[in-house]
Structure 1
Amino acid sequence: MSEQIKIKDVTPVKIHKPEESANYSARSRIYVRAVEGMLENIRRFFGLIFLGLFAVIPWIQYNGNQAVLFDIGEQRFNIFAMTLWPQDLTILAYIFIVSAFALFFVTTFAGRVWCGFMCPQTTWTFIYIWFEEKIEGSRNKRMKLDERKMDADKFIRKTLKHFAWVSVALLTAITFVGYFTPIDALFVDFFTLDVGFWAGFSIIFFTVCTYGNAGYMREIMCTHICPYARFQSAMFDKDTFTVAYDPSRGEQRGPRSRKIPHEQLEEKGLGDCIDCNLCVQVCPTGIDIRNGLQYECINCGACVDACNGVMDKMGYEKGLISFTSEHQLSGGTTKIIRPKLIGYAVVLLIMTSLLVLDIYTRAPLEIDIIKDRNSLYRETNQGLIENVYTLKLLNKSQNDRTFTVSISGIEGAKYVGESVVNVRGGGVYTLPISVVTSPYSLTEEVTNFTFHVETQDENGEIIKIQETSRFIFTDV
């Protein structure tokens, strides 16, 4: 009872907010200021790569077909040399699981960098902001333009801006729909008004969504709709790298002359922050990073570049706002290797290995057997018993293959129908056949037997699969 109870100081820290005005109201539009810097260049680099891949991939051809095509109508996904069918649900599940754990791993290590550097919402939002800057001017000019009454200049600028927005949204929608229907015909059919109903509806729908999300909703998608902002804290720890402000160095903040030597700041009770609010003005979600870690922060690093630029002009050391960890801010050392990160890495490695193994061991052909439901069996003129089947032969490769079909398991049974068929790459061949045998060779009402299908791959190796079915005769 003599031990002293440790008490933690929970005195609330003074929160510094920008002056109250419509520009910073949660329900008013955020005017994002342009910024230059290393992180901004990295973000643009990744954004251009993502945008380029998104635009180019559906135009790539493989073996005379669209290399990536998710054909929902035909229930097959073509990804270069691989064709996925509904039977390949495990591969799709593995892909989603690997993607999820990769996101968890990256978030644990470097925070919400996916949102800031690769998320389509962020990429398209910055594209729209770029058009705003080129057509309407800088942040201050855009604010003054919106305050003006409508005149010829304002009308022209607004019209050009929205025309550019709609054009980007339309091209985005057509490209996206092009992943689900052949894109070369889609472009021609859409602009000649010959497109199908669902393709046309999808293009209009995604055009409106892109225009609304990137043009108007912007930060609302990140702060109120996207669930990632809500559960990301479960993956954070004190060693997670995230954008943060160093209050021990920046406080007390306040304006000052550049002529004041840095060494005299402490005598005046000032930190390195000059309270210019540029970190707020460049933030696409409109937050003040100096208030601490906030779920609205997307880790785009715009405030880091803005602050570094100010520090450079003032002659101060950069890094007042930086990618850092809670441990490092408190004077400790960031632990890169830690149990949570190792756990995510191990699970990611296991799931990736299972995905690769599933793809590697996946047979390039498959057979579905459909028993005739109209007649369980019938007796032929020769007194033989016949069962009718429909075989669905799936060629999962992108190359045309020759399949050979045979049966085993019933003594004296005869296979009636085509035994050698050619199936186009990524196609399905419907093969009606029948199996006949003498009733004296059947000892049970239901006899199991096996269909065998074999083919050769590009290297001449034999690939075989088999599927069990049932032969029915009730007068045994």
Structure 2
Amino acid sequence: MSKEIPVHQVDPNSDPSNNKKKSETVDLYESRQKIYVKEIKGFFQRIRNVSLTLLMGMYFLFVWLTLDGQPLIHFDLPAREFHLYGMTFFPKDFFLLSGMLIICAFGLFFITTLFGRVWCGYTCPQTVWTFIFMWIEEKVEGNRNKRIKLDKAPNSSAKLAKKSIKHALWLFVALATGLTFVGYFYPIRELIADIFTLNANGWAYFWVGFFTVATYLNAGWLREQVCLYMCPYARFQSVMFDPNTRIVSYDPNRGEPRGSRKKSAKPSEIGLGDCIDCGQCVQVCPTGIDIRDGLQYECIGCALCIDACDEVMEKMDYPKGLIRYTTENELEGKTSKLLRPRTFGYGAVLALMIGAVIFTIATRVPAKMDVLRDRGALFSFNGEGRVENSYTVKIQNMSEVPQTFTLSVEGLDDIRILTTTTVNVSSGENLSLPTVVDVPPESLEDTNNEIRFHAESGGGEAIRLETESRFVGPRPR
């Protein structure tokens, strides 16, 4: 059924009996029609299989890997620590997350202006998991025709068995997905043991259940509905498309008019184009569209229709490429431009943000020190007649190993630290150390004097920290 509302030109002054063509009635709120996707093999499907294997392998494997005793990727929310590939980040590093999100956004914009929705077709999690679920469905229930026949068949033990096996496998994959996702926040080895021994906390069960159900529904039941109605990318992609964007397209100049014919018949002799109207491109489409109708927001750029059409063209001894990655300009016989102002703009911002994030990470210090002066009392005199100031020294160890720091202070003659000068700071710890500093009154040059605190770690790679503070005393005589 067409999704377009038919419009007819009607002359109100003409005889109604002359308007013989009746308008069709289209239900704009019709229920979803299940899409039975036909399995196809081809060049682009092999590319997707490789990307799917790599992405799923990374997702399920990285959660188990460790580096120097720490998980390779671990978002420790209670401790407010984020371990990524041997580096530890803290809430103070939030700007790095912002930079990475900007990189992802402009990377998506840059790729979209060049090649359309290749992200959706090859790497989007919804696409990846949907193809896994469709593969399971194909193996359990059979090919497209068998699945259609099975759904129309009356209930039987054989039908119930196949449906039960399919949904059990779907739930298994969904559960593995939920456990793995939560494993990036809750150490996976502890999570598995705690979940199945009923020792995990309630939030762990909630989130594992949530992502299990979400995966099962999105990839098993909703499928293309997520892409069509829930994903915002399908709506704003048109802003990034232009006549030079390379997208999956049908070549009407070569394919029209359509029609079936014998393999021995030459299209030019029978007045037909190369399209034999077999419908294979529609049967393999995971969103159920007909690519021959032109560019549609439902198209996710998966190129399954290209593989299906190329297979038919090969059997008919016709040149491949009736459906292909091409541009609107190329279809009209014009020259396409790969680089244009829009791509330069997105590319420049992308390169700038990548460079900024790399520079920030490369120059990121493994520890930080802050000194806060006690504002409860400006100064006091101790038993030796020296002027005292109180401070809180905060040392944050952002390295992966414990550090031992030695504190010192300079800036005034005979200045010294009265409290502890050697502190041990664990990996990821943010230590607060009350510190008292004194100085002889005759060393004061003013009521407000500049001093500098130093902290030095000699273990492993030497770390030297320095920060400025103020020492307050009486007015010099």
For the criterion TM > 0.5, the same-fold answer is: yes
Cα gap change, 1:71/1:247 in structure 2, threshold over 3 Å: closer, same or farther? same
How does 1:448-463 map onto structure 2 within 5 Å? 449-456=451-458, 458=460, 460=461, 462-463=462-463
1:72 aligns with 2:77: yes
- Aligned-partner Cα distance in 1 for 2:373–2:238: 54
**Residues 81 and 397, structure 1, Cα contact 8 Å, conserved in 2:** no
1:232 aligns with 2:232: no
Cα gap change, 1:180/1:387 in structure 2, threshold over 3 Å: closer, same or farther? farther
Report the CA distance between 1:387 and its aligned residue: 4.1
How does 1:99-248 map onto structure 2 within 5 Å? 99-248=104-253
Report the CA distance between 1:468 and its aligned residue: 3.2
- Aligned-partner Cα distance in 2 for 1:164–1:369: 57
Q: Deviations over 1:108-151 (max 9, x none)?
A: 11111011001111000000111111111111222222223322
- Aligned-partner Cα distance in 2 for 1:123–1:210: 11
- Aligned-partner Cα distance in 1 for 2:447–2:214: 59
Instruction: Choose which of 345, 348, 352 in structure 1 pairs with 2:347.
Output: 345
**Residues 281 and 305, structure 2, Cα contact 8 Å, conserved in 1:** yes
Normalised TM-score (structure 1): 0.87
Moved more, 120-129 or 272-281: 272-281
1:404 aligns with 2:409: no
Amino acid at match of 1:247: P
Secondary structure, in 3 states, of the residue corresponding to 2:465? Answer: strand
Q: Deviations over 1:265-304 (max 9, x none)?
A: 2343311111121111111111111111111111111111
Q: Deviations over 1:349-372 (max 9, x none)?
A: 222111111111111111244555
Partner of 1:5: none
- Aligned-partner Cα distance in 2 for 1:91–1:307: 45
- Aligned-partner Cα distance in 1 for 2:378–2:288: 70
- Aligned-partner Cα distance in 2 for 1:201–1:429: 34
1:465 aligns with 2:465: yes
- Aligned-partner Cα distance in 2 for 1:248–1:114: 28
Cα gap change, 1:372/1:158 in structure 2, threshold over 3 Å: closer, same or farther? farther
Cα gap change, 1:181/1:434 in structure 2, threshold over 3 Å: closer, same or farther? farther
> Once superposed, what is the RMSD of the aligned Cα atoms?
2.6
Cα gap change, 1:105/1:352 in structure 2, threshold over 3 Å: closer, same or farther? same
**Residues 101 and 344, structure 1, Cα contact 8 Å, conserved in 2:** yes
Report the CA distance between 1:90 and its aligned residue: 2.6
Secondary structure, in 3 states, of the residue corresponding to 1:332? Answer: coil
Report the CA distance between 1:464 and its aligned residue: 2.6
What stretches of structure 1 move > 6 A for 4+ residues in a row?
A: 373-376, 473-476
**Residues 175 and 208, structure 2, Cα contact 8 Å, conserved in 1:** yes
Partner of 2:67: 62
Partner of 2:365: 363
Moved more, 200-209 or 376-385: 376-385
- Aligned-partner Cα distance in 1 for 2:209–2:471: 52
Report the CA distance between 1:65 and its aligned residue: 1.4
Cα gap change, 1:146/1:364 in structure 2, threshold over 3 Å: closer, same or farther? same
Moved more, 315-324 or 381-390: 381-390
**Residues 404 and 459, structure 2, Cα contact 8 Å, conserved in 1:** no
- Aligned-partner Cα distance in 2 for 1:399–1:246: 61
- Aligned-partner Cα distance in 2 for 1:470–1:168: 60
- Aligned-partner Cα distance in 1 for 2:226–2:404: 51
How does 1:247-286 map onto structure 2 within 5 Å? 247-260=252-265, 262=266, 265-286=267-288
Instruction: Choose which of 27, 37, 40 in structure 1 pairs with 2:42.
Output: 37
Report the CA distance between 1:438 and its aligned residue: 5.1
Cα gap change, 1:374/1:140 in structure 2, threshold over 3 Å: closer, same or farther? farther
1:90 aligns with 2:108: no
- Aligned-partner Cα distance in 2 for 1:162–1:370: 60
- Aligned-partner Cα distance in 2 for 1:65–1:338: 45
Instruction: State the aligned residue count.
Output: 451
Partner of 1:324: 326
Q: Deviations over 1:83-115 (max 9, x none)?
A: 111111232222222222221221111111011
Cα gap change, 1:75/1:474 in structure 2, threshold over 3 Å: closer, same or farther? farther
Unaligned runs of 5+ in 1: 1-11, 13-19
Q: Deviations over 1:298-343 (max 9, x none)?
A: 1111111111111111121111110111111111222223222222
Secondary structure, in 3 states, of the residue corresponding to 2:299? Answer: coil
Cα gap change, 1:454/1:236 in structure 2, threshold over 3 Å: closer, same or farther? farther
Secondary structure, in 3 states, of the residue corresponding to 2:268? Answer: coil
Secondary structure, in 3 states, of the residue corresponding to 1:266? Answer: helix
Amino acid at match of 1:120: P
Cα gap change, 1:220/1:368 in structure 2, threshold over 3 Å: closer, same or farther? farther
Normalised TM-score (structure 2): 0.87
Secondary structure, in 3 states, of the residue corresponding to 2:324? Answer: strand
1:429 aligns with 2:431: yes
**Residues 170 and 203, structure 1, Cα contact 8 Å, conserved in 2:** yes
Amino acid at match of 1:308: D
- Aligned-partner Cα distance in 2 for 1:258–1:244: 24
**Residues 389 and 438, structure 2, Cα contact 8 Å, conserved in 1:** yes
Report the CA distance between 1:432 and its aligned residue: 3.1
Moved more, 280-289 or 398-407: 398-407
Amino acid at match of 1:170: L
